[in-house]
Amino acid sequence: METPPLIAIPAGQPSTAPRVPDEIKGLHYPLGRWVPGPGEAEEVAPGIFWVRMGLPFGLDHINLWVLDAGDGWAIVDTGVGLPSSKADWEALFAGPFAGKPVTRVIVTHYHPDHLGMAGWLCRKWNVPLEITRTEYLLARTLTLDVGDAPPDEAVAFSVRAGWSEEQVAAMKAKAWGNFGKIISKMPAGFKRLRDGDMLTIGARQWRIVVGRGHAPEHACLVSDGLMISGDQVLPRITSNVSVYTNEPYADPLADWLESIDTLRAIPPDVLVLPSHNEPFFGLHTRLDQLAADHHGKLEKLEAFCETPRTAVDCFAALFRRPIGEADYGLATGETVAHLHWLEERGRVIRVTDAGGVDRFVKV
């Protein structure tokens, strides 16, 4: 599994937008488009603080949540594992979170913007990493998945998807495995989170609700009137749901759509605290939008496959803009996920040619 290429982290700037509630596409944003700046912590509910850090990817920010645990602070998600994130945390510990130690480090899932600083934080404060088992083990595996060239299985995955000979050759010429470069050294052990677990943090009880599809065992935290949703529910953007080279025949979109139904058991009036964009009300409305978006893409893709198509051919049916080289891997994974969903339900079939390229055709 490859991570996106690194780019420069944009300088963090506080939002110039006023804190004026806003209503957009059926979702209510109590703070509008306002976001906290570097070193700031916004209290969005009693004892619940919103921190925002920069990212070195196309998506340039992540929201992190710091909970008042009474005798200390509980951190939910940690930022990417780079010196800039460490500097941000040090400024916060010297500023709004001075005076009390960190007593818990909780990570929703294995992606580097969420897990990246966890090892450093756990060592600094001598606390265990709290995470679901699958996310921990996958992250540990990926830190070891490095080489001077990509594995044959990864090359074959790209060939099957319809990458050009030039693109495959360029891939084969590169070193493999960026994951460990943006993850601080992980703890050798962890404290397991399970679906349905109850966590007492300060005066609140939080229930772990596991979602799947974007990550294999993503932990959301739900309390009275609040949901820390990680990447499982985002406003204004949709989470990437992809097939990766380490599980090339997976059907993660089925997990994602199943999880949308599972999350409907959460009360609709919670304030959703997402990892990207701004806090919002309208959980069930957003779940409906996410499900409709994917089902619309599936219908469009199925019709597009009236003629046999490679995954790369299908970019035109799924994405509104041309896909550049920097996004090719993620676009491939997401397209294959949609094709696999259709294939598993007998709506398209796969035909592999003599060169190992897969084409999908509507049944």
The DSSP call for residue 327 is: G
Would you mind telling me the total number of residues written for the chain in this entry?
A: 363
Residue 262 inside a domain? The answer is: yes
pLDDT at position 11 over 70: no
Q: Has residue 38 got a pLDDT over 90? A: no
Question: Average pLDDT of 75-102?
Answer: 97
Place of tokens 């609040």: 226
Question: What confidence score (pLDDT) does residue 253 get?
Answer: 98
Cα 302 to its chain centre, rounded Å, is 26
6 falls within a domain: no
Other beta carbons less than 10 A from residue 204's beta carbon: 20
Domain count, the chain: 1
The reply to whether 267 falls in a domain is yes
Q: Please name which of 78, 84, 83 lies closest in space to residue 112, comparing C-alpha atoms.
A: 78
DSSP state of 322: P
Torsion of CA 107, 102, 53, 29, to 10 degrees: 80
- The H or E element spanning position 102 is strand 102-106
| The pLDDT of residue 14 | 53
Taking 80 as the threshold, does the pLDDT of residue 132 lie above it?
A: yes
Q: Is the overall model pTM greater than 0.75, yes or no?
A: yes
**Which secondary-structure segment (H or E) carries 142?**
helix 133-144
Task: Identify whether 165 is part of a domain.
Answer: no
The amino acid sitting at 28 is H
Which percentage of the chain shows pLDDT scores above 90?
Answer: 92
Q: Is residue 286 part of a domain?
A: yes
Q: Could you say which DSSP state residue 110 is in?
A: S
- Residue 258 covered by a domain: yes
**Token output for 171:** 């891939």
In this structure, is residue 232 part of a structural domain?
Answer: yes
Question: What is the mean predicted confidence (pLDDT) over 88-93?
Answer: 97
Q: What is the pLDDT of residues 165-221, one digit of tens each?
A: 999 999 999 999 999 999 999 999 999 999 999 999 999 999 999 999 999 999 999
Tell me: the pLDDT tens digits for 291-300? 999 999 999 9
Confidence of residue 15 (pLDDT cuts 50, 70, 90): low
Q: Does a structural domain hold residue 306?
A: no
The pairing of strands 198-201 and 191-193 is unpaired
Residue 103 belongs to domain spanning: 22-148+175-297
CA–CA distance, 189 with 194 (Å, rounded to integer): 16
Per residue in 224-241, pLDDT (tens digit) is: 999 999 999 999 999 999
Model pLDDT for residues 265-324, shown as the tens digit of each residue: 999 999 999 999 999 999 999 999 999 999 999 999 999 999 999 999 999 999 999 999
| DSSP single-letter state for residue 4 | P
C-alpha span between 197 and 222 (Å, rounded) = 11
Hey, is 227 helix, strand or coil? strand
- Domain harbouring 83, CATH code: 3.60.15.10
